[in-house]
């Protein structure tokens, strides 16, 4: 199997952490230079029409795009340890928090980065005002996360899941746009320190 990724990007890190938690090592990592537009060439588009990374290429040539879909594939082929829930309720709660972090935090940070940094200005039209507003949305959502984590070890009770992986990768990437948890977020910081101490966080 081959995972096409960019080592410094947040979404590929989510998959690397997921694989590290699973103990899956038989994956070849292929680095894609996003700044140079390597993801936009004809061969890459044939494998991955959206041009987004990461994407997984199986040994038979089948390709799977989208971060969570890639994680789902590995969850199914190697169920232990489960990272997407163990019971029907837990699976629903993991999906709920995964989507909340995705929409209200990770996506907002991504929009802030794309529209204020100019990193992709050769292939999109940045709207700085939208980028600034997205950054404010991300900061506001940290308050909700902090309140939730006041009574929960992880996003879903005492169960570490793919939702926590999404959140730590988003928080670390947020530093690129100068967004970070502070003294107003003690519970989020407690959570961050705990998750950062996991070996998979170094993946």
Q: What is the pTM of this model?
A: 0.94
pLDDT 10s digits, 56-99 = 999 999 999 999 999 999 999 999 999 999 999 999 999 999 99
The structure tokens listed for 7 are 């080592």
Compute the distance between CA of residue 107 and CA of residue 20 in angstroms, rounded to an integer.
24
Domains and CATH numbers, the chain: 2-77 (3.40.30.10), 88-198 (1.20.1050.10)
Tens digits of residue pLDDT in 157-180: 999 999 999 999 999 999 999 999
Residue 30: CB partners within 8 Å, gap ≥ 6? 2, 3, 4, 5
């Amino acid at each position: 199997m081959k995972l096409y990724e960019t080592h410094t990007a947040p979404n590929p890190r989510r998959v690397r952490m997921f694989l590290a938690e699973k103990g899956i090592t038989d994956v070849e990592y292929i680095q894609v230079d996003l700044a140079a537009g390597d993801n936009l060439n004809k061969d890459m588009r044939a494998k991955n029409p959206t041009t987004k990374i990461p994407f997984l290429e199986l040994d038979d040539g089948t390709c799977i795009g989208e971060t969570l879909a890639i994680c789902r594939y590995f969850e199914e082929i190697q169920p232990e340890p489960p990272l997407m829930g163990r019971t029907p309720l837990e699976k629903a709660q993991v999906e709920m928090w995964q989507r909340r972090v995705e929409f209200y935090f990770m996506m907002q940070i991504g929009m802030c980065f794309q529209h204020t940094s100019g990193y992709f200005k050769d292939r999109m039209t940045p709207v700085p005002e939208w980028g600034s507003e997205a950054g404010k949305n991300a900061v506001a959502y940290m308050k909700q996360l902090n309140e939730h984590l006041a009574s929960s070890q992880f996003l879903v009770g005492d169960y570490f899941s793919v939702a926590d992986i999404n959140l730590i990768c988003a928080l670390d990437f947020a530093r690129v746009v100068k967004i970070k948890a502070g003294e107003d977020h003690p519970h989020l910081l407690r959570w961050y320190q705990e998750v950062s101490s996991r070996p998979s966080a170094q993946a």
